Structure 1
Amino acid sequence: MGDIKILVVEDDSIEALDIKKTLESFGYSVPHVASKGEDAIRKAYEVMPDLVLMDIVLKGDLNGIEVAREIKKLDIPIIFLTAHSEEGMVKKAMFTGPYGYLIKPYSAIELKYGIELAIYKSNAEKELKASESKYNSLFDNLLNGFAYHQIIVDDENFPVDFVFLRINKAFERLIKLKRKDIIGKRITELIPDIKDTNPELIEFCGQVALTGESNVFEMYFEQFKKFYSITTYSEEKGYFATIFEDISQRRIAEESLKESERRYRTILENVQDAYLRGIRKVV
């Protein structure tokens, strides 16, 4: 555990030395012992410890709670050391988000397991944040539009609307609206005439949200002059996700191809008719 650095903040020199020796016996590194809050803050920025053991009551202008507020900016876990008589201070300390409390006098085993639990919790939270950050980056950089919704039903449990809960950047680009103007809004607020122009949209999405059965369909939105392929799925009843792909170019190409085929057939039929008429005249 020599690679784990612990900053000790304790104004009682004898107790501080005892804590330092105990930590080192566990294999931890103690790069500094601070007796005052100002020194603790300076050393925290300098050393960047993995954990801080902080006495709530300190000599000087700053107490442990005030010091913790500053060190918290570095995302370093803190364990408070406190005496039974400091109950009021403990309540105030709760607002700094400490990773634990050790009530004096505490045993070496309590200290050891308190530190291990705090470090484990801190590492797990950092991994979770990193994972969320990676997910959010992937989410926002998807080429297709993504949105997450909650379905709204009437008294007979029939889908009548849905609310936008989350969208990515691609979705903003697709419908040319900003996230702040979409999140929390109903589809009927964003597109007031949606039930007239695309009455099946809410029905299709509602079926997915209520049954959990995925669906893929194509739809033209007059409001955006676009064709979209919409994939819908649900992992929780009452909620559903949609993936929008702009297929307007593909549909235009398909229509152009169909039009070309119609013209070709018309030309071919006219040629055949002319040929047959020519044969009849010869005969």
Structure 2
Amino acid sequence: MPDQLFDDLYRNTENLAWAPVEQVRRSGRQRSRRTRVAASLAGVVTVVAVAAGAVALGADPDAAPPVVPATGSPTPTPNRTPTPSTSPSHSADPTPDDSGSPTGGTPSSPANDDGPNAPSRDTSIPAAAMMQLADLPKGFTMTNGEPDGDWTLESVFANCRNQPASLARGQVAERFRVFDSPTDSLIQRVTRYSGEAAAAHLDAMREQVEECDPHRSGDSLTVLAAGFGGDESMLVGSVMEGRPARWILVRQGDLVAQLRVDKDTTPQEATQLVRPVADRLCAGTDAC
């Protein structure tokens, strides 16, 4: 008795229509041909890919592309001579200091002070024309620059009924120094004047002191001593609202030094102080 499996297969194929043998062979040959063509194409693609990779690896990455030759002759460019450029000049700004110049630099001399043909000169006040620490007792310190407050003799004239004319006429330059100690202080101002204005300034100061008519009873302004150094000098004392004060004025040529000194300075002490002051002024004027 045949197996059940074969019986089932027989029943499933009993009524099938089988293709002729020649047709089956022809279909097999076509499938074989298509397989060979596909395999050949795959081989060609592989060979091409390998060849392209080899060319890429062997190529010089830095090689420049070929230059296409020009079809015409280049036209030479005429030589041009460069025009030299001029650098702009630069003037340094003056450095602020206490050089004695009103503007921080070296001012020019006022016009026509010494005649139309007078040569220009340096009108600043040198540091050597100012008092030094060596001129004072030990214990003082020195500061450059104008101090604050109304310390000048001119400021005292506000206490007089008769007011002077301008006392700044002819001023060219100023310089200040302040000396301090634990018990005392001294302020110096040196002013340069044009022409004969220095002598005229000292005359005007003396006249105002002598003619001052104080507003308040008991106030006073007096020339205590004069003529003790330099071309001209004087010691002035005041008492305003019960407070005494002293000033020394010294002229040497076109320079005038004004010093605010101790309120108890005597003419003898003023004489000792004026000597180095007058000597120092000679460093800033050719009148000595």
TM-score, length basis structure 1: 0.22
Higher RCO (CA-CA < 8 Å; seq separation 6+): 2
Larger radius of gyration: 2
Give the number of the structure whose residues are more often helix, by fraction.
1
